[in-house]
Amino acid sequence: MSTSTKLMCSAGTCVNNMNGLCTASTINVHGIKANAAVDTECETFAEKGVKNAISNLVNMNISGEIRQVFNKDSIVMSPRIKCEAVHCNYNDHKLCSARNVQIYGPGAATSEGTQCDTFSDKK
């Protein structure tokens, strides 16, 4: 993954979502057999709540969050993106190499309600 990767997320119900940005240090995109974005999901998704907030503390990007507070005009906080979608053009040895990543999931209650909209089939 490039250090300039920018991740936006529309899963507003996720404990890691802060105003459309992801506070996780690492996210896992599943979809080993995916041939389209709809076949992927953000396995790191966890619905907002006290229990999930506490259990996700170990994967929190604290330094990224602090940097983001002082950089309101640009995205400086982005997680490392592990990706199992081997048919995606951006999958580079199970890491995402896309510069701009969009995780889709408005109203998601589970990870199955999310997807990586940046997925691009290698066909």
pLDDT (0 to 100) of residue 1: 42
Confidence grade of residue 2 (pLDDT, cut at 50, 70, 90): very low
Give residue-wise pLDDT tens across range 69-79.
Answer: 898 888 888 89
pLDDT digits (tens, 9 = 90+) for 77-105: 889 999 999 999 999 999 999 999 999 99
pLDDT per position as a tens digit, 13-51: 999 999 999 999 999 999 999 999 999 999 999 999 999
Residue 11: per-residue pLDDT: 98
In this structure, which amino acid lies at residue 93?
A: H
pLDDT for res 77? 86
Question: How would you label 49-86 residue by residue, b for 16+ Cβ within 10 Å and e otherwise?
Answer: eeeeeeebeebebeebeeebeeeeeebbbbbebbbbbe
Show the tokens assigned to 95.
């890491």
Where does the pLDDT of residue 3 fall: very low under 50, low under 70, confident under 90, or very high at 90 and above? low
Q: How deeply is 33 buried, as exposed, middle or buried, from its count of CB atoms within 10 A (0-12, 13-18, 19+)?
A: exposed
Q: What does the alpha-carbon distance between residue 39 and residue 21 come to, in Å, rounded to a whole number? A: 22
